[in-house]
Structure formats: structure tokens, C-alpha cells
Structure 1
Amino acid sequence: MVHRFRVVLAALALGWTLAHGGDVQAQSGARKGWLGIGMDAPRDAAGVRVTKVMSGSPAQKAGVHDGDLLVRIDGTKVGSPEEVQRVVGGHATGDVLRVTVLRDGVESTLNVSLAPRPSRDEQNRLEFVGRPAPAWTKVDAVKGVHKDLSSLRGRVVLLDFWATWCGACRAMTPTLSAWQARYGAQGLSVIGMTTDGRDEAAAFAEKANMKFGIAVDESAATHRAYSISALPTLFVIDKRGVVRDVVIGYDPSHEAQIDALVRTLLAES
């Protein structure tokens, strides 16, 4: 599982087009419709399990819930995420699909009006901004990091998901180190989270002169909780533990905006 997770991240870093987490979205064409769910195929039931409904998505607005078993779309039985993608991908923005779900043993049919597919940045903001940052699971602190996010309450946190093989991550390292040096005493904690092994991460952090906390998520459980689909991905978390922004990729032109947001959050009571 962890190996496959790293392969997917590597592919995305190279710009390949892959669906992440079963999210139903058009693979091409701006007019294709978007449903906004994560899913898998359970072994003990006929249908497709909804693992996550994205906030603000067409599925959420129609009343689809996490844990629903999706059994039919417009009367067509579906038994795999690929089948759902194929059916939804054949419809355009604005089309209304009759989605039949099984919930607590009771079937119901919901009318879902498909929306345009948001960009990856927009999807992450829809899902996380304004909501409490997910708790960390099975995280191993390498240096300067507590094992749980709640221990950092009262501090502003820049949580950067990275990997040793990620060139953009390496390019971002000096900026992260500079932010830690500039604002650490004022209440900022910069933390790099990776699925690489502990020894590998520690050696790389030393070589790259990473002047901020490093944590290892070898099981990838925390990466999945944050819906990480590309590296680097930076979460800006305020003193209350609420996500205030999500930035995917590295673009030096965004540094001033992030710096300004950090200063604003540090000034909040």
C-alpha cells in the first residue's frame, strides 16, 4: 500500500493524469461533469462504497454521505470505481444523474446535478479550508516535532508534505527554513511530513540543511487523511488548529502571499 502510494505521488509529480482516491472527475474536456466523491469496492457488498464526500461538491449537495453504498447510476448497476468513473465521465456539466445509494439497509435515489471539475488546488480548499486540520496517525517524529497536531495548538503551523525524490520539494526547502528562522520565536512551527523511511528522511534533512521539524508517516495514513495527491503540498494551519490555506506545488511567486498570511495568523489572539 505504501509503495503504491509513493508510485502515485511520483506519477503526479511528473505530471501524469491519474485519478486520486477514486475521486470522480473528467479526465479530459472542460465540459465534463464532476461528482466529487472518493470510493472503493467493498468485498462484502454489491456496489461501490463512498469513502469521502467532498465539501461543496454536487454529491454533498444532493445528500450523498460518507459510507453510502452506491448501487446504480441512472438505473445502471455499478460494481467498481472504474464503472462509476465511466458512467459519470460520459455526462457533461449541468446534467442531472439519478444516483441510487444503500444506507442502513434502505435504498434511496438522489438527483445529482454535475458541476465543472475544480482544479486540484480548488478541490483541496473546498475540502479543508475553514475546517479543523485532520489529526495525525502513526507519525514518527524525526526531529523537532511532537507526535500529534493537538500539541501545537496555540502556534501557527506550516505543514509541508514532501519526499526525498521530489525536486520541487528540495527547491522549497530554503524558503521553509527561512520562515522557521524568521517567525519561530513568534509562534510559527514549520513541519515537513514524508512517507520516506526514518533513516532516509533524517539523512536527507541533514544533507539538505532543513532547519525545521521533520516527521515520518511511513504508513501514509496521515497523507491519506489530508488527501495528498501531489508534492509538495503545504497546509497553513492557525493557532486554533483550523486550516486557512492549502497550496499545491512550488511557485516562488506565491511566497509573498504565504508570508503575509503567516504574519496575519501570528498576530491573531
Structure 2
Amino acid sequence: MGATPSGLLGSLLPRPDSGSHWALPRPDSWVRCYPVRTRVPIRRCPSGLWYLRRVQIRPTLVPLGLALLSLGCAAATGRPRAPSAETAPSPQPSSEAGETSTFPAAPELPAPRAQVRAPRRNFPWLGAFLKDQGGVRVFRVLRGSPAARAGLAEDDIIVSAERRPLGRSRDLIELLQERPVHAELALEVERRGARRIISVPLEPAPVHEDIARLELVGFEAPEISGVVTFQGDVSSLRELAGRVVLLEFWASYCGACRLLAPELEKWHVEYSGRGLSIVGVTVDPLKLGAEVARKLRMTYSLASDPAERVTNRYLAREIPMLVLIDRKGEVRDVAIGPSPERMRQLEHDLRELIREST
């Protein structure tokens, strides 16, 4: 295969010394930042589309939906494709593997109140976040996802998948990479001591903006407490009750975020006196965030989220990400990237929200 690939692009390619094994970057160590001029399809794997974060990596937290984005690189790197659903039917779940009749019911998640807008991708989506804690443990299930519809729940332990024992969450990710988009995935799940086989009908993954919209739009906005304010004095959404809020997730290394800053500053000047509050949240350290804000002349409220708790609550894994919240604290829309069309729509929506109670 020649020289060993280097950098982040190299981490997505098969290693010469590992046969067909694929080495994936740790999902919590990177975030997508849209190119300034265009959205480049991820399957082309251009260098610079994914940026490494200079933060402490937590390998035990593995967001499945994000790790699966590397599947789009298969066509570009020559990795053999999985057989189609027609030629490789999935084994049907059985009543073996210790299934009991007292398996507790999963709490029902509220149905999504938003619709998928963009075309879906050509790789499967499970929609669960996992951590390696006493086995492969589910710590979050996303609304409207295959995992939610199949009945997976928080704190479930996935013992095996397709009859293969799972020692760590990465084992399940690697298995998912081999599955056709519309296949079913048989998972043996342990819940409060009882076990059952759960069949998950996989489906093509939505783009990340739609995933965030399914999870957030129409529901109460997650609190932002825990951030460290370095400009302005906003540290909680409760302090902004009765105002329209625009949350911006950004970072110093994101060129598209820098491009967006003047537009958001213009909105801040024009609408802050009419009931709009813009709050920028970054994972940058305080000193770096303040320095970049000064250079970009950002005067609206800014806060650092070094532990990424708020970033994770909002699924802000692609930036810049804007979340529009109405005066009642309900999320009304999510936009990712500096698309002029989306920005025009977002400005129209925030104007309407401002007018609603004036």
C-alpha cells in the first residue's frame, strides 16, 4: 500500500500492517467544521474537513452516530462494500440467549416534533450513545432513532450483537460498519437483570442537522448551566426567561464560525433591544476564546464549556451550530453551517418570534 498515511485522513484508511482492520479516530476527539465556501461530501474525505480537538480524549464515551460517519469514506479508500440487504438477509432474533418473560418495559420517549429535511446518507444509523461501563452500556437514546423505535433504553447493557459477544462499544461499531443500510440488527440486551433479544431495523442516517432537530425542536431547551462566562453575565437560560435566545456553538479553529461572526454581531446590534439574546458557547479555554472574540469584534454574551456538558446536551458535534429558542424556552429550529439560505430563514424566524409578544 506504500507509505503509511499520516494525519487524520490517514486514521480513516486501512493500516498497512493490519490487514482489513480499520482504525477509527476516537469520536470524542474530533468535531466537524464546515468549509467556508461549500459543504464537501464526507465520502471524499478531504483533509481539513474534520479538525482534531485539543481537549482531553475520553475513549469510554463513543457516540455511535458520529463514529459511523467514517463509513462514507469506504468508497474513496477502496474498502470492500457490505453486501446489499437482498443478498445478505439478517438473522432473525430468537428466544434464546437467556431471554426471560419478566423483561422490564422501556420508558417511552416522546415522538419527534420535527421532520427530516435533507436527503439521508448511505450508511446505517442506530441513534444510541454508548460507554464502556460494566459492559457496553447505553447512556442516551435519540428521539426518532432506530434504537428508540426498537425499545432500547438508557442504562441497557448490550451483551451481544448478531450472536457475537461484545467486550467494548467499538466491537459494536465495527459490526455496524459491515451491515447493509436497511438490514435488521439483533441485539441481546440486559435490563435490570433480565435479558431479551431486541431487533433493531436499521435505516439510512440523517445529516447531523436533522438528527439535532429531531432531538431538540419542539421540546424545552436543555439548560446551559455549568458554562464559564467570559463576556457578558449570562450563565443560565433561566436568566433569559421571556426573551428570544439564539445559542451559537463555535470554536476558534472553525473558519466558518469566523465567517458567521459579523452576521451574528449585526443581529445582536439590531435585535437585542427588541428582545433577542445571543449567547455563544465554545469549548475553547477562556483566554483563547476571549482573544478570538476580541479579534472578531464579538460583543454578545460568550461562555466556555470546557467539560463539553452543554455541547453534548445539544449534540453540537458540527459547527457552527445555531439553536433558536422562543420566549417560553422551547427550541424552534436548529441550523448548522454558514448557508446563506439557512441564515435568511433563521433571521426571518427570529423576527417572527420577537413580534409574537410585542
With normalisation by structure 1, the TM-score equals 0.89
The answer (yes or no) to whether the contact 1:72–1:78 under 8 Å persists in 2 is yes
CA separation of 1:102/1:21 partners in 2, compared to 1, >3 Å: closer, same or farther? same
Identify the residue that residue 30 of structure 2 maps to in structure 1: 8
Cα distance in 1 for partners of 2:172, 2:142 equals 16
- Does 1:90 pair with 2:124? no
Cα distance in 2 for partners of 1:214, 1:17 equals 22
Match of 2:291 among 203, 207, 216: 203
Match of 2:268 among 165, 180, 184: 180
Give the secondary structure class of the aligned counterpart of 1:25.
helix
Identify the residue that residue 332 of structure 2 maps to in structure 1: 244
Cα distance in 2 for partners of 1:142, 1:5 equals 28
Q: Give the CA deviation at 1:170.
A: 0.8
Identify the residue that residue 264 of structure 1 maps to in structure 2: 352
- Does 1:25 pair with 2:97? no
Give the secondary structure class of the aligned counterpart of 1:64.
coil
Q: Give the CA deviation at 1:94.
A: 2.7
Q: Give runs of ≥4 in structure 1 deviating > 6 Å.
A: 10-13, 17-20
Q: Give the CA deviation at 1:156.
A: 0.8
Q: Which amino acid aligns with 1:185?
A: G
Let me know the Cα RMSD of the aligned residues.
2.4
Cα distance in 1 for partners of 2:346, 2:287 equals 30
**Once the two structures are superposed, what CA deviation does each residue of 1:98-134 show, in whole Å capped at 9, x if it has no partner?**
2111111111221211111111111111111111111
The answer (yes or no) to whether the contact 2:27–2:62 under 8 Å persists in 1 is no
Cα distance in 1 for partners of 2:166, 2:276 equals 47
Q: Which amino acid aligns with 1:232?
A: P
Identify the residue that residue 43 of structure 2 maps to in structure 1: none
Identify the residue that residue 125 of structure 2 maps to in structure 1: 34
Identify the residue that residue 12 of structure 2 maps to in structure 1: none
Q: Which amino acid aligns with 2:31?
A: L
Identify the residue that residue 79 of structure 2 maps to in structure 1: none
Give the secondary structure class of the aligned counterpart of 2:242.
coil
- Does 1:70 pair with 2:158? yes
Q: Give the CA deviation at 1:77.
A: 1.1
Q: Which amino acid aligns with 2:30?
A: V
CA separation of 1:12/1:37 partners in 2, compared to 1, >3 Å: closer, same or farther? farther
Q: Which amino acid aligns with 2:302?
A: I
Identify the residue that residue 253 of structure 1 maps to in structure 2: 341
Q: Give the CA deviation at 1:253.
A: 2.8
The answer (yes or no) to whether the contact 1:31–1:92 under 8 Å persists in 2 is no
Q: Which amino acid aligns with 2:125?
A: W
Give the secondary structure class of the aligned counterpart of 1:9.
strand
Give the secondary structure class of the aligned counterpart of 1:98.
strand
Q: Which amino acid aligns with 2:196?
A: S
Cα distance in 2 for partners of 1:180, 1:20 equals 36
Q: Give the CA deviation at 1:11.
A: 7.5
Cα distance in 1 for partners of 2:260, 2:323 equals 14
Give the secondary structure class of the aligned counterpart of 2:68.
coil
Q: Give the CA deviation at 1:17.
A: 9.8
Which range moves more in the overlay, 194-203 or 15-24?
15-24
Which range moves more in the overlay, 30-39 or 80-89?
30-39
The answer (yes or no) to whether the contact 2:62–2:169 under 8 Å persists in 1 is no
The answer (yes or no) to whether the contact 2:217–2:331 under 8 Å persists in 1 is yes
Which 5+ residue runs of structure 2 have no aligned equivalent? 1-25, 36-47, 53-60, 76-120
The answer (yes or no) to whether the contact 1:145–1:215 under 8 Å persists in 2 is no
Q: Which amino acid aligns with 2:63?
A: G
Cα distance in 1 for partners of 2:329, 2:156 equals 29
Which range moves more in the overlay, 91-100 or 153-162?
91-100
CA separation of 1:10/1:87 partners in 2, compared to 1, >3 Å: closer, same or farther? closer
Identity of aligned residues (%): 33
The answer (yes or no) to whether the contact 1:70–1:99 under 8 Å persists in 2 is yes
Larger radius of gyration: 2
**Once the two structures are superposed, what CA deviation does each residue of 1:159-187 show, in whole Å capped at 9, x if it has no partner?**
00111221111110111011111111111
Q: Which amino acid aligns with 1:8?
A: W
Cα distance in 2 for partners of 1:31, 1:140 equals 39
Q: Which amino acid aligns with 1:15?
A: L
Q: Give the CA deviation at 1:61.
A: 0.4
Which 5+ residue runs of structure 1 have no aligned equivalent? none
**Once the two structures are superposed, what CA deviation does each residue of 1:7-54 show, in whole Å capped at 9, x if it has no partner?**
512778732399972336361275432211111111xx2x31112111
Q: Give the CA deviation at 1:57.
A: 0.5
Q: What is the count of residue pairs matched by the alignment?
A: 263
The answer (yes or no) to whether the contact 1:72–1:101 under 8 Å persists in 2 is yes
